A and B are shown apart, each in its own frame.
Chain A
Amino acid sequence: EVQLVESGGGLAQPGGSLRLSCAASGFTFKNYAMSWVRQAPGKGLEWVSTVSTNGGTTYYADSVKGRFTISRDNSKNTLYLQMDSLGADDTAVYHCAKRSETSIWPKIWFDPWGQGTLVTVSS
């Protein structure tokens, strides 16, 4: 069974940093692009970032470009999101998500998703 378990969320000060992790199991991690998608409280889904299988290609939403860095460690089956210069608008549940088996890079949809980790940015 594919499992994605996020960690690292919590309370951060405005201007502060957090590093999220996503531990993957149940599939060959190195073969799949991975992504982060967030959902602010009571709001819709917002794609944040995607990394290719070997980490060599990354994509970012304009809202986080220059502040967030996505990376992966295929030897540890782990996806990361380094978040710097955090602002109140970054408050959200952050989900990691695997490229669906039924999609073809780079035209991807997401399946499955982890349950998410809550990031709250507040003083």
Chain B
Amino acid sequence: IQVTQSPSSVSASIGDRVTITCRASQGISSWLAWYQQKPGKAPKVLIYAASSLQSGVPSRFSGSGSGTDFTLTISSLQPEDFATYYCQQANSFPPTFGQGTRLEI
């Protein structure tokens, strides 16, 4: 299953609302996770099962979608949110990641 993420990069300002999309090449129900990765650090799960917020993750992060189309939304950007975001489908092996979205100031 291929996963196409867009955009590859986005520039935004503090307080902005940002949406990142992920499209799977075939239906994956809700078997999708979103990760945040900061430079030199390991990725961290933000959203799992397409729309469930990982414990400890701020509520400004939300996920939606099912089937083939998914979105990650950050409702009001904070300085610590500038990072790279990846989606990952978990419907079947091999698990596949989107290409990543770099969120820049």
**Chain A residues engaging chain B, CB cutoff 8 angstroms:** 35, 44-47, 50, 59, 61-62, 95, 100, 102-103, 106-116
- Would you give the shortest CB distance from B47 to chain A, in whole angstroms? 10
CB pair B48–A112 under 8 Å, yes or no, is: no
Assuming the A-B contacts A103-B90, A106-B93, are A111 and B100 also in contact, with contact meaning beta carbons closer than 8 angstroms in the complex? no
A100, B45: Cβ atoms closer than 8 Å: yes
- A44-B86, A45-B86, A102-B52 given; A109·B45 CB < 8 A: yes
* Most chain A CB within a 10 A radius of its CB, from B45, B54, B86: B45
B33 contacts A by Cβ under 8 Å: yes
Additional A-B contact list (16), CB under 8 Å, known A45-B88, A103-B48: A44-B97, A44-B99, A45-B97, A47-B94, A47-B95, A50-B95, A59-B93, A95-B42, A95-B43, A100-B48, A103-B33, A107-B90, A108-B90, A110-B88, A115-B41, A116-B42
Could you tell me if B43 and A45 are in contact, using CB atoms closer than 8 angstroms?
Answer: yes
Question: Does A114 lie within 8 Å of B42, measured CB to CB?
Answer: yes
Decide if the interface of chain B is mainly helix, strand, loop or mixed. Answer: loop
Q: What residues of chain A lie closer than 8 Å to B92, measured between beta carbons?
A: 107
| B48 and A109 form a contact (CB under 8 A) | yes
Min CB distance B56 to A, Å, is 11
Instruction: Indicate if B18 sits at the interface (CB-CB under 8 A).
Output: no
Q: Which of A44, A50, A111 contacts B54 (CB 8 A)?
A: A111
Docked-complex contact B94 and A61, CB < 8 angstroms: yes
Q: How large is the interface on B (under 10, 10 to 19, 20 to 34, 35 or more residues)?
A: 20 to 34
The answer to whether B49 has its CB under 8 Å from any CB of chain A is yes
Using known A-B contacts A45-B43, A100-B45, A103-B48, determine if residue A109 contacts B97 with beta carbons closer than 8 Å: no
Pick the most buried of B33, B49, B54, B94: most chain A CB atoms within 10 A of its CB.
B94
Nearest CB in chain A: distance from B57 CB, A: 11
On whether A110 and B97 interact (CB within 8 A), knowing A102-B54, A103-B90, the answer reads no
B96 within 8 A of A: yes
Q: Are B90 and A109 in contact (CB under 8 A)?
A: yes
